[in-house]
Amino acid sequence: MKRRSFFEKAGMLAGSVLVSSPILAGNKASGSVLKVAHITDVHIRPEENVPVRAIEWLEKVKQHQPDFFLNGGDTINDAAYQGVSRARTLEQWQAWDQFREKISDYDVFSCIGNHDPWWDVPSKEDEMYGKPYVVKRLGIPSPYYSFDKGNWHFIILDGNHEGISLGVEQMKWLENDLDSLAHGTPTLVMSHFPITSITNDLVGGQHKDHKELKDLFFKHKDKVKVCLSGHQHLLDRAWYNGVHYFCNGSLSGFWWGDGDEQSAGKQYYLETPPGYAILELFENGDVTNTYYPLP
Ligand SMILES: [Zn+2]
């Protein structure tokens, strides 16, 4: 791909100059095979200059020269509440298109968030009803899917089933997907809702089927190394049975608002500033996850 080949060239030319300023360089830490940008909960909408503000921050993410983007869902502000009109849904997706256009030369692998599907539609036959339309607007193959990059495997989940879960069919698919991998294939799982989290006690939001997922990940402990999530707008990390669980705040912070009496700073949700994460994925399955607060 265009971006990748430029990156590879830049990497070959890197030398010691770039090592000293990693934010400007496409170079990676020694042994790292992939540099990935994780943005989540963009909650984009047309008013309050949100698209311009979001794109300004996106440019900061791009300075890291990631190999590709993971977008954790709640891409648009909200189409899921009662009474959201067709026009409102469309204008939010148009704002996303503006944002996405700025990274058109990157692959962006997205999750479906709870705020993304439009449910209050006059007819279920409408082409904009529910998840299929979100799949189309995000340019993803299906609500859940997997792919390979470098020597890593990536699994993108859809937790928008009863009580925040995968549902029977997707759980079966996930079991098969992990079974089909060669022993020791390092694997990253991205979900919108956290699978295991600290902040669930504060604000809820965790996968209801987290015990089943924990068992499955333990069965495949040679593979599953890291789980990414959003939804909380809070920065939290857990480590259990050899799996890192990174809940990487949100790009929108306090949904692009200034905050409330509980916000520790402007646009913070509780103590978490808006931001994004850069991950380095190593050949041996190690991972680093760094959260960059904004602005
Ligand atoms: Zn959410």
pLDDT digits (tens, 9 = 90+) for 6-15: 333 333 333 3
Structural domain contains residue 3: no
Å from CA of 282 to ligand 1 middle = 29
Å from CA of 74 to ligand 1 middle = 5
Structural domain contains residue 279: yes
Q: What pLDDT is stored for residue 18 in this prediction?
A: 32
Query: Taking the CB of residue 180, how many other CB atoms lie within 10 A of it?
Result: 10
Å from CA of 115 to ligand 1 middle = 6
Angle (nearest 5°) at CA 189 between 185 and 190: 150
Å from CA of 41 to ligand 1 middle = 7
How many domains is the chain partitioned into structurally? Answer: 1
Q: Which of 3-12, 35-44, 70-79 has the lowest mean pLDDT?
A: 3-12
Q: What pLDDT is stored for residue 9 in this prediction?
A: 36
Contact status, residue 51 vs residue 92, Cβ threshold 8 Å: no
Q: What pLDDT is stored for residue 11 in this prediction?
A: 36
Structural domain contains residue 278: yes
pTM to 2 decimal places: 0.90
Structural domain contains residue 146: yes
Domain of residue 242, residue span: 30-293
Structural domain contains residue 17: no
Distance of CA 41 to the CA centre of its chain: 8
**What is the CATH classification number for the domain harbouring 250?**
3.60.21.10
Q: What pLDDT is stored for residue 26 in this prediction?
A: 53
**Which residues, 6 or more positions from 254, have their beta carbon under 8 angstroms from its beta carbon?**
233, 260, 263, 267, 268, 269, 274
Structural domain contains residue 15: no
Tokens 């590879």, residue? 8
Q: What pLDDT is stored for residue 28 in this prediction?
A: 81
Å from CA of 291 to ligand 1 middle = 19
Å from CA of 5 to ligand 1 middle = 34
Beta strand pairing call for 32-39 and 275-282: antiparallel
Q: What pLDDT is stored for residue 3 in this prediction?
A: 41
Structural domain contains residue 65: yes
Å from CA of 38 to ligand 1 middle = 15
Å from CA of 148 to ligand 1 middle = 26
* Residue 30 pLDDT level (bands cut at 50, 70, 90): confident
Structural domain contains residue 233: yes
